[in-house]
């Protein structure tokens, strides 16, 4: 009786185990199918919810498909987006060369360099916009920018591996499934951008992502942010000790030399345009900035620096960090004057 009971119990356990195995297998199969579906649809979902970094994909597509053939190209972050009007530069230059603004939110010098090998043979000049503190900071590669480049099928090549350190470009060298998984994080930022465009009176025009000439970041009918003074107070609390004892980082210096040499071989002139804060920011005085730019010219004499601070007042800034349209007109005139001397 005891022996029979043990056999019965073992048989029931085996039946239960078999059922559990079938359930686990079914769950695993469904999970794998869902992962495959999510992986395949991720690029399409990403495009459905455009975020601030989606502009990178638009720039990438324009260069890949040659829908534009820029002779003058502007790169940089949001300061360049709001501060440089490519239409105005084109009008002011001799021969009216095709000029485009390929700047984007948070675009670092490393991210800009990713586009250099994709520039057409017609390109004659690159205007690389900088903020002064960027010369002292380590090279950064924002994850949303990485995802945007991968979603846009960025074509990695050997030129990039020569221009940029491996720790930078290898972030673009992972399997697609990794970036598809990471892209889920950008959906929420896309939804936030959608709500801001429709609910925030301080929101930019909805078409700035597609504008490759003058992607102005703010409402076109407002010259000054309502919270301008609040931002001034916040900026005054920041540490500007780097400006007192300014030293360009070796990484940045090496990168700029490589970029200049690379463009020279392609007969393209590199300009470094300095777009700084509004003069209201006392921690970074005009005297300090002038001294820093002088030091940059001494350390990198092979580069052409354009000081875009000249003649700008607080009235030329939407907020203390970004020029308004009046400021953009002045900055674009300064740049076109400097470039025209070479043209």
Query: Coil, strand, or helix at residue 255?
Result: helix
In b/e form, how buried is each residue of 40-52, taking b as 16+ CB within 10 angstroms? eebbebbeebbbb
Tokens standing for 51?
Answer: 């975020």
Q: What pLDDT is attached to residue 203?
A: 63
CA nearest 142: which of 114, 177, 118? 114
Chain-centre distance of CA 169, in angstroms? 15
Helices (H), 49-85: 54-65, 78-83
**Coil, helix or strand at residue 304:** strand
**pLDDT of 98 strictly over 90:** yes
What's the pTM value of the predicted model, to 2 decimals?
0.86
CA-CA distance, 53 to 29, in Å (whole number)?
35
Q: Is the pLDDT of residue 149 over 60?
A: yes
pLDDT at 23 over 80: no
CA 114, chain centre distance (Å) = 11
Q: What is the pLDDT of residues 74-85, one digit of tens each?
A: 999 999 999 999
Contacts of 200 (CB under 8 A, 6+ apart): none
pLDDT for 312: 92
Please report the pLDDT score of residue 184 as a whole number.
Answer: 74
Q: Note whether 246 and 298 are within 8 A (CB).
A: no
Give the bridge partners for 270, in sequence order. 126
Q: What backbone phi and psi angles, to 5 degrees, belong to 19?
A: -65, -40
Tokens of 7: 């056999």
- What is the per-residue pLDDT for 188? 67
pLDDT at 267 over 90: yes
CB-CB contact of 71 with 124 (8 Å): yes
User: Residue 269: enclosing H or E segment and its boundaries?
Assistant: strand 269-274
Query: pLDDT tens digit string along 160-178?
Result: 998 999 988 899 888 888 8
pLDDT score recorded for residue 3: 42
The DSSP 8-state label assigned to residue 239 in this structure reads -
- Bridge partner list, 125: 72, 269
Per the prediction, the chain carries an average pLDDT of: 85
Question: Does residue 245 have a pLDDT over 70?
Answer: yes
pLDDT (0 to 100) of residue 293: 94
The Cβ of residue 222 has, within 10 Å, a number of other Cβ atoms equal to: 13
Q: Average pLDDT in the 177-200 region?
A: 71
The more confident residue out of 101 and 309 is: 101
Round to whole Å and give the CA distance between 159 and 162: 5
Residue 118, classed as helix, strand or coil, is: helix
Please check the confidence at residue 304 and state whether its pLDDT lies above 80: yes
Model confidence pLDDT, tens digit, residues 195-234 = 666 666 666 665 678 899 999 988 777 889 888 999 999 9
């Amino acid at each position: 009786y005891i022996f029979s009971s043990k056999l019965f119990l073992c048989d029931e356990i085996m039946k239960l185990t078999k059922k559990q195995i079938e359930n686990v297998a079914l769950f695993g199969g469904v999970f794998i199918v869902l992962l495959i579906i999510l992986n395949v649809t991720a690029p399409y979902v990403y495009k459905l919810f455009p975020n601030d970094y989606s502009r990178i994909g638009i720039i990438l597509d324009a260069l890949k498909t040659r829908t534009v053939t820029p002779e003058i190209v502007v790169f940089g972050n949001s300061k360049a987006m709001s501060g440089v009007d490519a239409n105005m530069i084109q009008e002011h230059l001799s021969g009216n060369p095709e000029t485009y603004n390929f700047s984007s939110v948070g675009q670092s010098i490393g991210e800009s360099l990713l586009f250099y090998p994709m520039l057409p043979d017609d390109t004659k000049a690159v205007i690389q916009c900088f903020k002064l503190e960027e010369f002292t900071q380590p090279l950064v590669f924002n994850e949303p920018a990485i995802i945007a480049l991968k979603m846009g099928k960025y074509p990695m090549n050997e030129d990039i591996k020569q221009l940029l350190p491996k720790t930078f470009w290898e972030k673009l060298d992972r399997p697609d499934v990794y970036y598809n998984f990471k892209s889920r994080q950008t959906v929420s930022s896309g939804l936030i951008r959608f709500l801001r465009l429709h609910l925030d009176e301080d929101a930019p025009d909805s078409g700035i992502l597609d504008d490759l000439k003058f992607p102005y970041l703010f409402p076109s009918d407002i010259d000054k942010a309502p919270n301008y003074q609040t931002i001034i107070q916040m900026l005054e609390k920041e540490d500007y000790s780097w400006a007192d004892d300014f030293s360009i980082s070796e990484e940045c210096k090496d990168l700029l030399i490589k970029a200049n040499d690379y463009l020279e071989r392609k007969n393209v002139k590199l300009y470094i345009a300095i777009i700084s804060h509004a003069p209201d920011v006392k921690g970074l005085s005009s005297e300090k900035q002038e001294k820093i730019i002088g030091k940059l010219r001494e350390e990198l004499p092979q580069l052409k620096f354009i000081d875009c601070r000249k003649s700008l007042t607080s009235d030329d800034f939407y907020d203390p960090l970004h020029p308004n349209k009046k400021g953009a007109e002045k900055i674009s005139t300064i740049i076109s004057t400097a470039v025209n001397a070479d043209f």
